[in-house]
Amino acid sequence: MFDITLEQGHGLATMLGVAALAIGLSAVFYRRAYGALRAVQWQALLALRIVAILIVVLLLFRPVTSYTKDRQEKRALVFLVDSSASMNIADDSSGEKRFDRARRKVTEWCEQLGGDFELHVVEFSEQANALGDATALISVAPDGKSTSLSRALEAAGQVSSANVEAVFLLSDGIDNVKGNPLRSIPRGGVVVHCVGVGSSLRGDVSYRDVQVAGMSCPPRLMLANLARITASVDAVGLGGRVVNVLLEEEGEQIGEAEITLDDRQGGQEVVFEFRPAEKGRRTYTVRVPSLAEERIEENNRRSAVADVIEPGIRVLYIEGTLRGDYGAIVNRFLQKDPDLEFCALVQTKPNVFLCRTNIEGLQLSGIPTDAETLAMFDVFILGDLDASFIQPEQQKLIVERIRNGAGLIMLGGYHSLGPGGYQGTPIGGVLPMQLGDREVGQVDDPFLPVLTPEGVRHPLFTNIEDFFPTEQGDAVIEGLPPLKGCTRVAGARPGATVLANCPTESGPMPVLAVQKVPQGRTAVFCGDTTRDWQQAMRAQDQDPVFLRFWGQMVRWLAGRSESVGTEMNVVARTDKPYYDPGEKIEITAVVRDSEGEGTADAKVVARIKGPDDLQEQVALSAGSGSAGHYGATFEPKTAGTYEILVEAALAAQTDQTDPIAVEVGRPYLEYEKLDLNDTLLEEIAKATGGRYVPLTTADHLIDRLDRSMKESREFIQTKLYWPPGLWILFVSCLTAEWVLRKRFQLR
**pLDDT tens by residue, 558-590:** 988 666 666 788 888 888 877 877 789 999 888
Q: Is 55 exposed, middle or buried (0-12, 13-18, 19+ CB in 10 A)?
A: buried
pLDDT average, residue stretch 698-719:
81
pLDDT for the residue 711: 62
Mean pLDDT of 276-305: 88
Q: Tens of pLDDT along 493-505? A: 999 999 999 998 8
Of all residues in the chain, the percent with pLDDT exceeding 70 is 94
Q: Which pairs with CB-CB distance under 8 Å and at least 24 residues apart come from 725-730?
A: 726/55, 726/58, 726/59, 727/55, 727/59, 729/51, 729/55, 730/52, 730/55, 730/56, 730/59
Q: Comparing 542 with 311, which gets the higher pLDDT? A: 311
* Percent residues over pLDDT 90 in the chain: 47
Neighbours of 143 (CB within 10 A): 13
Distance CA 742, CA 734 (A): 12
How many Å apart are CA 56 and CA 72, to the nearest integer?
Answer: 40
What's the Rg (C-alpha) of the chain?
41
Tens digits of residue pLDDT in 206-228: 778 898 988 888 888 888 788 99
The reported pLDDT for the residue numbered 665 is 76
pLDDT at 158 over 80: yes
pLDDT of residue 244: 95
The H or E element that residue 467 is part of is none
pLDDT of residue 204: 66
Could you tell me the pTM of the whole model?
Answer: 0.58
Look up residue 354 and give its amino acid.
L
Neighbours of 694 (CB within 10 A): 15
Whether the predicted pLDDT of 541 surpasses 60: no
Higher pLDDT, residue 295 or 247:
247
Segment 62-111, tens digit of pLDDT: 888 887 776 778 889 999 999 999 999 887 777 799 999 999 999 999 99
Reported in sequence order, the residue ranges of 526-628 that DSSP labels E, i.e. its strands, are 569-574, 578-579, 585-592, 603-610, 614-622
More confident residue, 104 or 339: 104
Name the least confident of 220-234, 249-263, 382-396, 434-448. Answer: 220-234
Convert 78-109 to b/e letters by CB count within 10 Å (16 or more is b): bbbbbbbbbbbbbbbeeeebbbbbbbebbbeb
Q: What pLDDT is attached to residue 132?
A: 80
Q: What pLDDT shows up at residue 592?
A: 83
> CA 110, CA 120: separation in Å to the nearest integer?
9
Write a three-state SS string for 95-123.
CCCHHHHHHHHHHHHHHHHCCCEEEEEEE
Average pLDDT over residues 45-52: 84
Number of neighbouring beta carbons within 10 Å of residue 1? 5
Sign for the pseudo-dihedral over CA of 611, 612, 613, 619: negative
Q: Name which residue leads in pLDDT, 94 or 420.
A: 420
pLDDT at residue 536, as a whole number:
60
Q: Which of 159, 203, 162 minimizes the C-alpha distance to 73? A: 162
pLDDT given for residue 140 in this prediction: 94
Label residue 597 by pLDDT band (50, 70, 90): confident
Q: How far apart are CA 206 and CA 304, in angstroms?
A: 31
* C-alpha span between 118 and 75 (Å, rounded): 6
- 428 Cβ contact list (under 8 Å, min separation 6): 387, 422, 435
Whether residue 27 has pLDDT greater than 80: no
Q: Which helix (H) or strand (E) holds 71?
A: strand 63-73
Top pLDDT among 154 and 613 is at 154
- Rounded to the nearest 5 percent, the helix, strand and coil shares of the chain are 25, 35, 40
* 8 A C-beta contact, residue 598 and residue 591: yes
Whether pLDDT at 154 is above 60: yes
Q: What pLDDT, on the 0 to 100 scale, is given for residue 535? A: 65
Burial class (CB in 10 A: 0-12, 13-18, 19+), 674: buried
User: Has residue 437 got a pLDDT over 90?
Assistant: yes
* pLDDT tens digits, one per residue of 170-211: 999 999 888 889 888 887 788 999 999 988 766 667 778 898
The rounded distance, in Å, linking the Cα atoms of 267 and 244 is: 15
Q: Rounded to whole angstroms, how far apart are CA atoms 387 and 395?
A: 9
For the stretch 113-133, pLDDT in tens is: 988 999 999 999 988 999 988
d(CA 339, CA 562): 11
Average pLDDT over the chain reads: 87
Q: Which helix (H) or strand (E) holds 680?
A: helix 678-688
Vertex 467: Cα angle to 466 and 468 (nearest 5): 90
Instruction: Give the largest CA-CA distance in the chain.
Output: 134
Structural domains in the chain, CATH included, are 3-70+717-743 (no CATH), 75-197+675-708 (3.40.50.410), 209-309 (2.60.40.10), 313-557 (3.40.50.880), 569-664 (2.60.40.10)
The rounded distance, in Å, linking the Cα atoms of 362 and 484 is 35
Determine the pLDDT at residue 44.
82
Would you place residue 162 in the very low, low, confident or very high pLDDT band (cuts 50, 70, 90)? low
CA 142-147-153 angle, to 5 degrees, is 110
Q: Looking at the predicted structure, is the pLDDT value of residue 296 above 90?
A: no
Spatial distance between the Cα atoms of 120 and 112, rounded to a whole number of angstroms: 14
| Cα-Cα-Cα-Cα dihedral sign, residues 289, 292, 294, 298 | positive
Per-residue DSSP letter, 230: E
Residue 317: per-residue pLDDT:
96
So what's the pLDDT on residue 133?
Answer: 83
Those residues whose C-beta lies under 8 Å from the C-beta of residue 258, and which sit 6 or more positions away, are 242, 243, 244, 245
The pLDDT of residue 203 is 63
For the cut 60, the answer to whether the pLDDT of residue 539 exceeds it is no
Measured between alpha carbons, how far apart are the two ends of the chain, in Å?
Answer: 50
